[in-house]
Structure 1
């Protein structure tokens, strides 16, 4: 089995903190997800997460206007990454050494302005074409504010920029020294100035403060100042020649609320402001006419952004983990996504691997499309944390178990809870198993120590399996359908139940420690059990004997916590796996637990194959082996001190401490408690091409499918896009197609593909190397999908027919592994095409019948 799984995506978390930012084309939205950056394509309804991580959660995102693929992300401590999003390439690192409140590229993309305390630093943007030893070069440092700078806005020419600060003022600086120019100061606010904006003609400036005041500054030529010769004649210096004054004052009359974020679109001259009450207001400037006012939630809006065309408004709510894109003209949501409010406890894959379901401490069950990364359905029927979820092997049915004492069955066709299973006395369910036929469901309890078995058809309780003397932490049915049920418990035993026989024989096998979870091998001949002493034990279910054990305490040992009094090596004694899963072929076991690692073991050789680190986020406990002694003071670790540095940014409700002593999670947990890096559940996809981990950072998906966008193999100096186009124009279809595939340029691939002549398709496919079959199938599926708006339907179908006729055996042999994702894409494209053809046919049939009936009625009328 291959073990080269690479990070593919993050589901279950769409926004955490920082600012959201629209891409230059306005079709994509950048959203910080912890210490990673997610990209949401709002046109194609897909999302993906970049594989790069910062040291701490991302606090600021900046996009270059000149190069739409160049993005800068800065974490809470000022460490920055410069990323080429299209190539998924990390270009440079930078440490700004102070928390960055705002970062903005100049309009030409040559400079980058960042806040540095009460100063502003302007850096030269690194070149994306030349490899530099020191890519960031400081251009100038600007001073003048007396408190932290909060925002930076460039003028249209890029020669001036406007800054706002906590000192209740705004300043106008010039990028380079200009004869006679002095920085201008804008005062008049009574609270911190959050943002400042230029109008489209740059004759008006708008400033918005935290207390809800919006000042409109109008300018006129400053004739009293003697400027250098020729300086006044340059129209690009108009902003600097202007004498600014307050033309009008406007106020957002919202009681007991504060302005938390704002954005402005110069093209449409519309200002959008978000408040701490969850309300946002859209205004036409400079008249300050209210266009829309809508309450999104009861929590404050953390970030707001307007796309370049001014049609869509994006909102991010940190406390809810919610991301919204609203179209103000139609008053409808383009995107509305939200993760789990609390921790994610469990995950399960559907049989085709296209859908994953998660359950969390918030009592919600969410279905995620693994291809698009979007949540499609949310079930909120449970009233307590969801502990387990499972799909039925047959049919569109989902089961979930919860601490509220219920097991619920959901119909995934009608999206409703059609069956609720309960016990005679209230208990808390912590484990779940579904019989392969989907007719029987079992759940283990943590307080009654029994296993309950129900009929899915009738909803009646069939049996109560007693015998364990502690909480039943693991349940699993034999996947082969023999009716064998395996259970493990804290009573240090594994039991095998023959539940469908009259005798109901039970076989008990001892464990070395408390059993935490178990998993059946796909053929049903072996069971793997994880115990509290950090071991994985293997049992032969046919003969009921112990076949082997692996000591994994060192592999799963967690890192140092900030409040630990002992070293990491002394903490390994309490480390254990809490979730195990067999691979699709049964040769490997995937295991995860209360640590920052997920381990893959070879069952036959009893060795560790690979170990993945889930997160490099230093704000999580357990990500470091050693603590930084420089952070330790006489009062303790600095990270544990709640200094309330942003006390003025907190609302009154946020300042009130409603936590209960000793509570570590939930609504009344201590807010100063740091989350721990761990994986509560790991699962393999039935296709074997990916696996997922329900972790603190979200649902992390690792895949074998190629994620790289550039592969330098088989390249030489003569292989260029110009050479590929020339070969295509000369009629060398195969040479051009192979060149485009090697360059891995999607636009060039589509151009060469569409230029291939119809009668040459079978010849090109016949000579196509097998290594490019998956890529070509994906290309055909993308062009065949209605979203590509390609009119050559018969041409695409000819390609598919040739590919399946000439390479059908190769594709069929690996249809469940290598070609599974691309075959699903082909099937979806064909289904869309079929639906469109059927709709067109129905419309044409109805039109013809209408014309025929009208003609017949007219003939009858003339005859009469």
Structure 2
């Protein structure tokens, strides 16, 4: 089995907090999700998450106007500079303090960073300049504010920028010294200034305050006229001395005492978008202050709003419930409407075809995610309490879920409805679930009762209550062949039940500690059991004998919480596996628990093959190995100190959290989320697996497409030499190999289409085998995207006929590529069949139409001949016809 799994995508979380950024083309949206950044392609309906991680939650992100550089900064001021198109980390930098905003200039030459109450302007790294030692070079530093800076806005010509601060003022700064320019302070607001914006002609400035006031500023003079002096020359001399920014108009939003939380201004159409703490946003046309639209999109405040380049799409982020919305304001329709779980995930499962992932959480919601696009398809909210388990029936699109509200529900994923609800004779909180592969029987266990409840899916009737356990039932698992049911309990036993025999006997397996999870191997001959003492034991179902075991206490232990008195190695709470899952071929097992590690074991040898780190985010408890002594005070760890009472705003000082509550609303300041993995599931193909963690739904895949991975690169291998080899030397094989080494798609495409048809077999014959998978993958992609269908089929025919034996021997390495070839050929076949059917009907119609017309013409000629027409007339008729 291949074990080279890499992080592929993050689902289940679409927005945490911070700012949103549209790409320069306006088709994609960047959103910070914890300590990562996710990009949502709004046109192609896809999403991907960058692989880099910050050590804390991301506070601000910025994208250069060219769309090439992505700058992300976390809560501590540590920044990562990334090549956006290549998804490659270029540089790490530390601003050494909290950053509240960062913006690139419109020309892309500089970027401004608001570091507490000062602004730092840095030069943007450029590949056109000569190589420098430091990627970041500071241009200037600006001071003058006495409070933290909320917003930075550049002018259209990149010569000036505005800053809005918490000290009730906004300031105008110049990038470079300008003759006669003096930094100006715009004072007059009675609350914190949220944003300040230039108009398109830069003749006016709009400032928005938190209290709901909007001021318009004009550059004009106030003349000092003296009654005793009528000299016009003196007035003209005094005019430039008293010319400055002055308030021309004052407007107020009047939203029933709701505070302004965010705002943005679109210069081209003078459109102002404002988000309020009540969840309402408003669109206003400036400078007349005409209200175009207001809409409530959230139950809680809107944290950030932005607008794309064309001014058509508005993006909103609400961190309280993790909502992300993209709204087209002209047609009043949603382009994107996504929301993650706002509580801890409990379980997950893959659909039988591997195209969907279902997650359940303590918020009572069931979400179905598209594994390819990363978007949530549907959300079920019928459960009234936390959903603890979910499982698919092996046949059909039927999903079963168990909940703490005392019900087990069956869902139809074709019509997206709840078609059956199962309940027990008494009120129980179901925590374990198992479904017969045929989908006819569903079983559930509870921590309140020691019995296992069995229902008939067709009738919804409770068939039986299986008794035998002497403790709460922690886990259930049906064998893939449907013959046996395994149940694990806190009474340190696992029972194997034969439900479909006359006797319905159970075989008890005695263990040394409380059972946490049981799982059947795909061939139904072995069952794996995870216990509280950190052991994973494997039992032969037929002989009821233990075959092997794994001690995972040292492997799983890791991560120290802020309140722990002991080190991570001695913490008992993270030394056991709460979830285990077999691989598709049954040779490996995946295990995780209340730790930041996911362990992959080889069952035959009992060795640890790989260890995956779930998160390095220090904003979550349990991610650091050792505590920093500088963060320890006399009152305890500095992370747990309550400093909200010192906030300047009243709504920030009010404590609405429940004392002692560690679950529930994770956004309250007294609860720190802890890193844990509550569910694991391999995809049916075995090419990927998913993990439900505190950060979200992590997808690890073998089919991770590397954007830029130069292969065997040499100094002489450049795009220019590749094209020279192709056009001047006509050495097609060498040019193709050089293009594969550079791994530039446009270059491979150019070389691929320049190779003559008669030379394809010669190029494929001498192509090194290391580039074979790259060639097959590229040709299958071009057969779907490009217009040259026969050309692509000639390449595939040459590859299969020449290297078919080698591909068969290395079947494991070419599995993904050959699956793509089969899919490509089937698609071409189906399209050709459909096209041929259409052509047959079209040809039949065309062939039938001229015959009828010919009969009419012949009849007309005969009539003309009878009337005495000549042969010349007949020829003229035919010519005219």
Of residues 52-61 and 654-663 in structure 1, the stretch that sits farther from structure 2 once superposed is 654-663
- In structure 2, do the counterparts of structure 1 residues 458 and 797 end up closer, same or farther at CA, with 3 Å as the change threshold? farther
Cα drift, residue 547 of structure 1: 2.1
Unaligned segments of structure 2, at least 5 residues: 225-239, 861-881
Deviations 1:785-811 (A, max 9, x none): 5xx5x5445555665666666666777
Q: Could you tell me which residue of structure 1 aligns to residue 46 of structure 2?
A: 46
Give the deviation of 1:758 after TM superposition.
5.4
Q: Which residue of 2 aligns with 1:273?
A: 274
Q: Which residue of 2 aligns with 1:333?
A: 334
Would you say the 8 A contact 2:370–2:376 is kept in 1? yes
Report matched runs for 1:213-612 at 5 Å: 213-219=213-219, 243-479=244-480, 481=481, 483-572=483-572, 575-612=575-612
Contact 1:774–1:819, Cα closer than 8 Å, also in 2 = no
**Which secondary structure does the structure 2 equivalent of 1:335 belong to?**
strand
Q: Distance in 1 between the 2:704 and 2:67 partners? A: 24
Q: Which residue does 1:720 correspond to in 2?
A: 718
User: Which residue of structure 1 aligns with residue 703 of structure 2?
Assistant: 705
Task: Check the 8 A contact 2:421/2:460 in 1, yes or no.
Answer: yes
The residue number in structure 2 matching 1:5 is 5
Deviation readout 1:685-719 (Å, 9 max, x if unpaired): 22222221100000111122244322232222232
- Aligned partners of 2:666 and 2:673 also within 8 Å: no
Q: Is the 8 A contact 2:522 2:584 kept in 1?
A: yes
Residue 741 of structure 1: how far off its partner (Å): 2.9
* TM-score using structure 2 length: 0.88
**Structure-2 residue corresponding to 1:124:** 123
**Partner Cα separation in structure 2 for residue 271 and residue 143 of structure 1:** 28
Instruction: State how far apart, in whole Å, the 2-side matches of 1:196 and 1:412 are.
Output: 48
Q: Distance in 2 between matches of 1:601 and 1:395?
A: 31
Q: Distance in 2 between matches of 1:119 and 1:148?
A: 8
Report the structure number with the largest CA radius of gyration: 2
1:719 and 1:665, CA in 2 relative to 1: closer, same or farther beyond 3 A? same
The Cα of 1:573 is off from its aligned counterpart by: 6.5
* Residues 645-656 of structure 1 mapped to structure 2, 5 A cutoff: 647-648=647-648, 651=651, 656=654
Q: What's the CA shift for 1:354?
A: 2.5
Could you say which residue in structure 2 is the equivalent of 1:175?
175
Structure 1: give runs of 5+ residues left out of the alignment. Answer: 225-238
Match of 2:61 in 1: 61
Q: 1:818 to 1:472 in 2, by over 3 A?
A: farther
Q: Distance in 2 between matches of 1:843 and 1:661?
A: 74
- C-alpha separation between the residues in 2 aligned to 1:821 and 1:462? 48
Q: Work out whether residues 777 and 826 of structure 1, in 8 Å CA contact, stay in contact via their aligned partners in 2.
A: no
Residue of structure 2 equivalent to 1:96: 95
Deviations 1:128-161 (A, max 9, x none): 5777543323322211112111111122222221
The partner residue of 1:680 within 675, 678, 682 is 678
Q: Distance in 1 between matches of 2:692 and 2:320?
A: 20
Partner SS, residue 639 of structure 2: helix
Matches of 1:105 and 1:822, distance apart in 2: 45
Distance in 2 between residues matched to 1:682 and 1:123, nearest whole Å? 44
C-alpha displacement of 1:419: 2.4
Preserved CA contact (<8 Å) 1:312 1:328: yes
Deviation at 1:537, TM superposition (A): 1.4
**Relative to structure 1, is the Cα distance of residues 77 and 333 closer, same or farther in structure 2, using a 3 angstrom cutoff?**
same
> How has the CA–CA distance of structure 1 residues 800 and 208 changed in structure 2, closer, same or farther, with 3 Å as cutoff?
farther
Structure-2 residue corresponding to 1:72: 71
Distance in 1 between residues matched to 2:441 and 2:804, nearest whole Å: 39
3-state SS of 2:716 partner: coil
Aligned-pair CA distance for 1:350: 2.3
1:568 offset after TM fit, Å? Answer: 2.9
Report the equivalent of 2:111: 112
Q: Deviations over 1:663-701 (max 9, x none)?
A: 321259964110001111122222222221100000111
Q: Is the 8 Å Cα contact of residues 663 and 669 (structure 1) preserved in structure 2? A: no
TM-score, normalisation: structure 1? 0.89
Using the alignment, how far apart are the partners of 1:847 and 1:273 within structure 2?
61
Equivalent residue for 2:747? 748
Per-residue CA deviation, residues 195-225 of structure 1 (Å, 9 max, x unaligned), is: 111222222222111112222222359999x
| CA pair 668-558 structure 1, distance change in 2 beyond 3 A | closer
Residues 1:618 and 2:621 aligned together: no
**How far has the Cα of 1:770 moved from its partner?**
5.1
Q: 1:252 to 1:755 in 2, by over 3 A?
A: farther
Report the CA distance shift for 1:364/1:734 in structure 2 as closer, same or farther (over 3 A): farther
1:767-789 CA distances to partner (integer Å, 9 max, x unpaired)? 5555445544544454455xx5x
TM-fit CA distance, 1:635: 2.1
| CA distance in 2: counterparts of 1:240 and 1:446, whole angstroms | 80
The separation in 2 between residues aligned to 1:494 and 1:347, in whole angstroms, is 23
Deviations 1:73-110 (A, max 9, x none): 11111111111122222111121121111111223333
Change (3 A) 1:277 1:773: farther
- The alignment partner of 1:742 has SS state of helix
> C-alpha root-mean-square deviation of aligned residues, in Å?
3.5
Deviations 1:420-452 (A, max 9, x none): 222232322211222233332222222122212
- Choose 319-328 or 748-757, whichever is displaced more: 748-757
Secondary structure of 2:722's match? helix
For the structure 1 residues 755 and 698, does the alpha-carbon distance in structure 2 shift closer, same or farther, using more than 3 Å as the test? same
Deviations 1:554-589 (A, max 9, x none): 222242211223333331376211000111222221
How far apart are the structure 1 equivalents of 2:589 and 2:241? 67
After superposition, give the CA deviation of every residue in 1:298-333 in whole Å (9 maximum; x if it has no partner): 111111111112121111110111111112222222
